[in-house]
Amino acid sequence: MPRWEPDGAERLETAAFDLFAEQGFDRTTVAEIAERAGLTPRTFFNHFADKREVLFGLSAEFRQRVVRGIAECPPATPPLDAAVHALQAALDAMFEHRRAAVTRRFAIVEANPELRERELSKIADLADAVEAALRARGHDTDTAGFAADAATAVQRRAMQKWTRTADGPPLRELVADALGALRAAVAPAAP
């Protein structure tokens, strides 16, 4: 896992994002990233396994926080509410204070089909982890699975909205709004 000392990982991240945006992810090397950051490739590899991990290195920690957050919800919390609550806490802790960097990351991932596929795969991993955490609370497969799909959809669309303005509402508020929008969108028509 990357560590976020301002003089290490964060400088490397900024340099990497600059280069990915300027010349594309594929054409950027670790040596260039280290040079731009004024550091050595060796320092790069102290923080990241490869250049892709600059973009995806936080996903495992995020997933673990969400799983822990679900386990800590009171037993009576309904499954989707537990998942969304845990997502909000993890987003607060890891992303709320880094909107500019997350926004840049989004643009880089969106611009590259391979990175986009990787991002979808990480979201699927997150959904699998949420499903397992909900099953561990006694929910059946269908309930846990669909609550997990819904929670990750809510998060994904809330984050998209959050990265579209520099000073809009905080992420947890957009997540709450998105949950309401999802529930309205899938509710059966009134008889």
What is the nearest approach in angstroms of a second copy to the Cβ of residue 45? 23
For a second copy, which is the closer residue by CB, 46 or 143?
143
Check if the beta carbon of residue 68 is closer than 8 Å to that of residue 89. Answer: no
Burial degree of 30 (CB within 10 A; 0-12, 13-18, 19+): middle
Phi, psi of 111 (to 5 degrees): -80, -5
What is the nearest approach in angstroms of a second copy to the Cβ of residue 176? 12
Residues that bind a second copy (CB under 8 A): 78-81, 113, 116-118, 120-121, 124, 142-147, 149-150, 153, 157, 178, 181-189
What is the nearest approach in angstroms of a second copy to the Cβ of residue 184? 7
CB atoms within 10 A of CB 160: 13
Would you give the DSSP letter of residue 95?
Answer: T
Angle 68-81-170 from CA coordinates, rounded to 5°:
85
What is the nearest approach in angstroms of a second copy to the Cβ of residue 147? 5
For a second copy, which is the closer residue by CB, 18 or 53?
53
For a second copy, which is the closer residue by CB, 166 or 186?
186
For a second copy, which is the closer residue by CB, 15 or 163?
163
Pair of tokens at residue 118: 């990787």
